[in-house]
Amino acid sequence: MESVDKNIKKEKQKEKLNKRIIEIDLLRGIVVLFMIFDHLMFDFAYLIPSLFTKGQIIGTWVEPLTQFGVNYWNWDVRIVFHYIFVFVFLVLAGVCCSFTKNNLIRSIKLIVVAYLFTLGTFIFAKITGSYNDIISFGILHCIGFALLLIALIELITKNKWVFLAIGLVFIGVGLFMEIQYGDYMFYEEGNFFQLTIYQLCGYKTAGGDSFQLFLYGGQVFLGYFLGKLIYKDRKSIFKNSKYSNNPITFIGRHSLIIYIVHQIVLVGLIVVILLIAGFNLKL
């Protein structure tokens, strides 16, 4: 009886996988892997020096890691690919939103998670004294508020061309704000709520992760339009289901939870490894 139940469960899981849009899972998995590596390099370059004294790092095996992270983070190629992967990530978020029946509930959940992130980085900043690591309007905030706007607009119209028009307007306004005003602003120069409003409209960027609603939220709208246009029948372009279950598509299927927890895991591992190696936190 138990083996029969297992077989039924496997068949249901297989059927569920076959219904997924494989190329979206693949792309999301690739993008999340890049972001994990990107954040790991950020931790090498900036987190380690903020947690451990410079005197402990110089002349040790950690110093090349931090220097590699700095070189990578400021590498022109990395900067270009970062914009590409962020664009793909946000568009895919929009595509997935086009499949959701209740975007309002989903947006509220995402905004709550985003502000839990803000709370976590605020506590971290209070401990380390590094207030510019606070994330007051990061990529999760941006997706959450863009999705909230999409949910509210869906109450009025579901015409996909309206979402395309709004997305293009948002991107256009965001690009203008970025070019005209988008300087980095330190948290010491203004209060938290002021900087949040600045980031929302694209007037300033701030903190360790800053994604203006107009420029980047517009890309979520663009993805929503593409989802309605390309996947109106919710069927994968890939016909071969053998691609549906591999490590990358697994990451893609669980991209949100992996994105949420990965930095916590990375920071925890780095701190534990360095403490075991004999380094002392400068807190």
The 10s digit of each residue's pLDDT in 135-177 is 888 899 999 999 999 999 999 999 999 999 999 999 999 888 8
Q: How many residues does the chain have?
A: 283
**What is the average per-residue pLDDT within 108-120?**
91
In whole angstroms, how far apart are CA 219 and each of 46, 110, 119? 29, 17, 26
Q: Quick: pLDDT tens for 230-282.
A: 888 777 777 655 666 788 888 988 888 898 889 889 989 999 999 998 888 87
As a whole number of angstroms, the distance between CA 244 and CA 250 comes to: 8
- Average per-residue pLDDT for the chain: 85
Residue 4 has pLDDT above 50, yes or no: no
As a whole number of angstroms, the distance between CA 202 and CA 180 comes to: 10
In whole angstroms, how far apart are CA 213 and each of 21, 83, 156? 27, 15, 21
Q: Categorize the per-residue pLDDT at 187 as very low, low, confident or very high, splitting at 50, 70 and 90.
A: confident
Residue 16 has pLDDT above 70, yes or no: no
Q: Which pLDDT score is estimated for 201?
A: 78
Instruction: Indicate if the alpha-carbon torsion angle 239, 243, 249, 253 is positive or negative.
Output: positive
How many Cα atoms occupy the beta-carbon half-sphere of 91 within 13 Å?
16
- The tokens describing 54, both together, are 């410079």
Predicted TM-score (pTM) of this structure: 0.86
Q: How many CB atoms lie within 10 A of CB 231?
A: 18
Residue whose token pair is 């002021």: 194
Q: Where are the alpha helices (DSSP H) in 98-138?
A: 103-128
CB-based burial label for 175 (10 Å; 0-12, 13-18, 19+) = middle
